[in-house]
Structure 1
Amino acid sequence: MKLILDLDTGIDDAFALAYALASPEVELIAVTCTYGNVAVDDAVRNTRALLDLFGRPDVPVYAGPSPAGWEVAEVSAFIHGAHGLGEVSLPAPAGGSAGDAVDFLVAAVREHEDLVIVPTGPSTSIAAALEDEYFASHARLVMMGGALTVPGNVRPWAEANVWQDPEATDRVFRQAADVTMIGLDVTLRTLLTHSEVARWRAVGTRAGEVLAELAEYYIRAYETTAPHLGGCGLHDPLAVAVALDPSLVTCLSLPMQVDLAEETRGRTIGDLSRVAPQVKVAVGVDAEKFLGAFMERLTRLAANT
């Protein structure tokens, strides 16, 4: 299976990238970058720096569009750090973007039949790609975003990725033929704690040290914003894991929409006015199985880098 990640590369995106790189059953053919946790340029830089760290500078990185006047939200800067990777300092990567993300996504779906795209930020690039009818009917998307049965994390009804471009997510729900939504319903049941992080430091490599520093920063942020959880949510890596192994989650199939009215703007909810397309919405997760795979793969990646 071939994989494209569409990342707004903050801390959990870094874990998602590491999970993909540590999974021998998939070929990561590229990363496209969007805004969200950081600006697009920072997402490109962070992604390329992480690819260098993990010994995969061959993976191309593409830059997506960003709304005019967009700025990083204060809560995003707090959770992920000013530049997206907490307090970790990585050498500046040698190159930049390989080209336009939207053009690449459209071309990649036409070229590869066994391709899955995992968007983990606002759906802006994916919505733009949906202008191509072949992309809309053939792209397989496993997206991190939304909340159906639980409250949001930036508003009582809205999750952060959807909140930043609700029109784009609404278009994805209405036009894309194959979408799985990995939202807060399941990602907040997959928590990383200090005890797991200690395993990465014990590896004794620079990659292990970076993973540990990222996780510790992320956990500290969660101790302020969501102390009741007892750890940090593994939002983006769960979406990657489900792309590889759909049996990790239990889904409801529903026609979905995003509320665009100001009162509940960004709410992801069923659409009773239509019957198709159906979005597979994850409402249950085998957290133990996922966390076991997550720790095994990232620890192995750290040890072998």
Structure 2
Amino acid sequence: MKPVILDVDTGIDDALAIAYALNSPEIKIIGLTTCFGNGPVEYTTRNTLVVLEQLGKSVPVYSGADKPLSRPPKKFPTHVHGEDGLGNRVEKPPVREAESEGAVDYIINQVKQRPHEITIIAVGPLTNLALAVQKEPEIVSLVKEVVIMGGAVFVGGNTTPYSEANIFADPHAAECVFSSGLPVTIVGLDVTMKTLLPNAILADWRAAGREVSDFFADITSFYIQAYETFHPGIGGCALHDPLAVGVVIDPSFVKKETWNVKVVLEGEEMGRTVALSEGEQKIQICTQVEADRFLNHFLDRLF
């Protein structure tokens, strides 16, 4: 069982990733760290606690970065995730609160206490991880692996024609992580856009007659409606963040190539993830995915 820190900016696909991760025995989520991204960090922390309550799970939550390293914050994607970040489904505050320790210190302390054991799955902006590396560079050699949902290396972006949302939210943090020497695997739009959760599945979730499945059906319905505005007739939504979890559970879901990856930090192409053949080739980029097999695995585990 792999010990995992799951770093989230909890919107709707993060919620699906949390459920998938917590119901998969191959990994053990030892802590959830939160970042701004799909909403302010206060919202994403609250949403993480709300999702845990819906799932009936108890995992410590650590609040983290509230803004990018250098660039001004971008507008939060309320049109995709709702005003509250969870499809306008947050009806009351969670009972539990986040831990007093901050996300950055938690990441540093866990990695130092368990050298070469911790996997970090980061499915939001990479600010927490970048801050941890800047504060304690020695953790670079102590992390077992880092799997991120982010980037659009060989395909177009989803925030700009060039950039994926998580990288665009804090490109300087992404560049810091990619150039740090951390063992990074990129699960980007190159593969996540091939993982379609069909709208028809939501009827099955509602038919289960459980509060948790109704909750996930409601928030995912909001997400799919947003997808339809960008991709008319798509009939579902991509499982971006869950696929990053899936790659840790079963690496055979994807095929990878090794590249030197840089992030564009200025101009029209800010946030673009560029694969270079020169320089040190250390970043694993997922380029192919067995989408149907992954989808079935995800659905089997979700609730």
Same fold (TM over 0.5): yes
Aligned residues: 296
Question: CA 1:210 to 1:176, structure 2 compared with 1: closer, same or farther past 3 Å?
Answer: farther
Contact 1:138/1:178 (<8 A) preserved: no
Q: For residue 97 of structure 1, what is the aligned residue in structure 2?
A: 98
Structure 2 stretches lacking a partner, 5+ long: none
Q: For residue 106 of structure 1, what is the aligned residue in structure 2?
A: 108
1:65 aligns with 2:68: no
Q: For residue 265 of structure 1, what is the aligned residue in structure 2?
A: 270
How far did residue 147 of structure 1 move?
0.4
% identical equivalent positions: 40
How far did residue 261 of structure 1 move?
2.5
Residue type at the aligned position of 1:59: V
How far did residue 89 of structure 1 move?
3.0
Question: How many Å separate the matches in 2 of 1:259 and 1:228?
Answer: 32
Question: CA 1:70 to 1:202, structure 2 compared with 1: closer, same or farther past 3 Å?
Answer: farther
Question: How many Å separate the matches in 2 of 1:103 and 1:89?
Answer: 29
1:187 aligns with 2:192: yes
Q: 1:111-156 CA distances to partner (integer Å, 9 max, x unpaired)?
A: 2343211111111111111122332122211000000111000111
Aligned residues: CA RMSD:
1.6
Q: For residue 4 of structure 2, what is the aligned residue in structure 1?
A: 3
How far did residue 24 of structure 1 move?
1.6
How far did residue 35 of structure 1 move?
0.6
Q: For residue 252 of structure 2, what is the aligned residue in structure 1?
A: 247
Contact 1:180/1:279 (<8 A) preserved: yes
Residue type at the aligned position of 1:238: L
Q: For residue 46 of structure 1, what is the aligned residue in structure 2?
A: 47
Residue type at the aligned position of 2:234: L
Contact 1:8/1:33 (<8 A) preserved: yes
Contact 1:130/1:176 (<8 A) preserved: no
Contact 1:28/1:59 (<8 A) preserved: yes
Q: For residue 291 of structure 1, what is the aligned residue in structure 2?
A: 295
User: Of Structure 1 and Structure 2, which has the larger fraction of its residues in helix?
Assistant: 1
Q: Secondary structure at the match of 1:242?
A: helix
- Single out whichever of 130-139 and 279-288 deviates more from structure 2: 130-139
Q: For residue 15 of structure 1, what is the aligned residue in structure 2?
A: 16
Contact 2:84/2:90 (<8 A) preserved: no
Residue type at the aligned position of 1:19: Y
How far did residue 73 of structure 1 move?
2.0
How far did residue 228 of structure 1 move?
5.1
Q: 1:180-215 CA distances to partner (integer Å, 9 max, x unpaired)?
A: 000000000001122112221111100010111111
Q: For residue 37 of structure 1, what is the aligned residue in structure 2?
A: 38
1:126 aligns with 2:129: yes
Q: For residue 146 of structure 1, what is the aligned residue in structure 2?
A: 151
Question: CA 1:200 to 1:129, structure 2 compared with 1: closer, same or farther past 3 Å?
Answer: same
Contact 1:49/1:90 (<8 A) preserved: no
TM-score (structure 1 length as normaliser): 0.93
Contact 2:20/2:245 (<8 A) preserved: yes
Question: How many Å separate the matches in 1 of 2:90 and 2:74?
Answer: 20
Q: Which runs of 4+ in 1 moved over 4 A?
A: 68-72
Q: 1:59-118 CA distances to partner (integer Å, 9 max, x unpaired)?
A: 1100112228965625x1000000110032343112322121000001111223432111
TM-score (structure 2 length as normaliser): 0.93
Residue type at the aligned position of 1:184: L
Residue type at the aligned position of 2:67: P
Contact 1:196/1:295 (<8 A) preserved: no
